[in-house]
């Protein structure tokens, strides 16, 4: 009879849902009523035991709601979610980090290409300006007869840059180029000699890989000094 009274006093609740205040008050009133009936029928001691049983039953009926609330947060049922990252969050973080690193690598690669191109272009320009400055120092009259007394450092035609030793020397990368010197006498607009120098990389070398231009061309017109 006590079991029937306890079952009648505790109305059914929705499993997993959050109980409303009215339902909780109704169940508590049922528990108190069951306890009062137990006191009348079997004495005060038996009534306290029945009330205790009712409280346990009420806690048991409310426990699935708390378990459902804990499960909504993404953790295990009945437990709060622990601190940490999910697999999806880790994968997204790795993807963003890889994109940032890829952009940095691209910037470093382009910077290196630009620096190497600037260095080899500067070296080629200096190799082309060298014979022009030497010939300008000697003068147009002397350069007209250059084939009669050529300088061993600046032969006409296409020659490979050889390493130099002594006070005047080129960097080691200068040997990666070849130079072509051409002298052309002109009469107009003024008598003189047109000096043209072409510098290009030699074969499959580092200079050919890094230098964007196929060759560097420099020219100058040497005129006779007025008397």
- Greater confidence, 151 or 33? 151
Do 64 and 176 sit in the same domain of this protein? no
Q: Which of 15, 40, 72 is where one domain is finished? A: 72
In a domain, 82, yes or no: no
Q: What pLDDT band is residue 1 in, cutting at 50, 70 and 90?
A: very low
Q: Which of 72, 104, 128 is where one domain is finished? A: 72
Do 163 and 134 sit in the same domain of this protein? yes
Q: Which of 72, 107, 131 is where one domain is finished? A: 72
* Structural domain that includes position 12: 2-72
In a domain, 84, yes or no: no
Q: What pLDDT band is residue 190 in, cutting at 50, 70 and 90?
A: confident
- Greater confidence, 32 or 197? 197
Do 51 and 98 sit in the same domain of this protein? no
| pLDDT average, residue stretch 39-67 | 54
| pLDDT average, residue stretch 148-160 | 90
- Greater confidence, 96 or 10? 96
pLDDT per residue as tens digits for the range 78-100: 455 567 889 999 999 999 999 99
Q: What pLDDT band is residue 68 in, cutting at 50, 70 and 90?
A: very low
- Rounded to whole angstroms, the Cα distance separating 31 from 47 reads 11
Q: Return the pLDDT at 187.
A: 86
In the predicted structure, residue 118 carries a pLDDT above the cut 60? yes
Do 162 and 99 sit in the same domain of this protein? yes
Q: What pLDDT band is residue 167 in, cutting at 50, 70 and 90?
A: low
| pLDDT average, residue stretch 187-197 | 89
Q: What pLDDT band is residue 156 in, cutting at 50, 70 and 90?
A: very high
In a domain, 176, yes or no: yes
Do 193 and 101 sit in the same domain of this protein? yes
Identity of the highest mean pLDDT range in 48-52, 80-84, 138-142, 180-184: 180-184
Do 154 and 215 sit in the same domain of this protein? yes
Q: Return the pLDDT at 3.
A: 46
Instruction: Give φ, ψ of 218 to 5 degrees.
Output: -130, 140
- Full-model pTM: 0.57
- Cβ neighbour number for residue 180 with a 10 Å cutoff: 16
In the predicted structure, residue 45 carries a pLDDT above the cut 80? no
| pLDDT average, residue stretch 142-165 | 88
In the predicted structure, residue 26 carries a pLDDT above the cut 60? yes
């Amino acid at each position: 009879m006590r079991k029937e009274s306890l079952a009648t006093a505790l109305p059914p609740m929705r499993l997993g849902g959050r109980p409303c205040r009215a339902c909780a008050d109704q169940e508590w009133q049922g528990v108190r009523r069951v306890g009062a009936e137990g006191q009348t029928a079997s004495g005060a001691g038996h009534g306290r035991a029945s009330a205790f049983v009712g409280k346990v039953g009420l806690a048991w009926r409310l426990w699935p709601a708390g378990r459902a609330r804990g499960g909504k947060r993404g953790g295990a049922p009945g437990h709060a979610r622990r601190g940490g990252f999910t697999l999806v969050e880790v994968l997204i973080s790795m993807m963003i980090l890889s994109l940032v690193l890829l952009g940095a690598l691209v910037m470093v690669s382009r910077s290196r290409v630009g620096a190497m191109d600037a260095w080899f272009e500067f070296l080629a320009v200096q190799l082309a300006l060298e014979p022009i400055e030497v010939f300008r120092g000697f003068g147009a009259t002397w350069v007209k007869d250059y084939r009669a007394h050529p300088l061993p450092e600046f032969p006409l035609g296409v020659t490979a840059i050889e390493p130099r030793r002594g006070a005047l020397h080129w960097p080691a990368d200068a040997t990666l180029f070849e130079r072509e010197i051409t002298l052309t006498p002109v009469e107009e607009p003024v008598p003189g000699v047109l000096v043209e120098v072409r510098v290009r990389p030699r074969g499959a070398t580092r200079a050919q890989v890094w230098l964007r231009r196929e060759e560097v061309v420099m020219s100058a017109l040497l005129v006779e000094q007025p008397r």
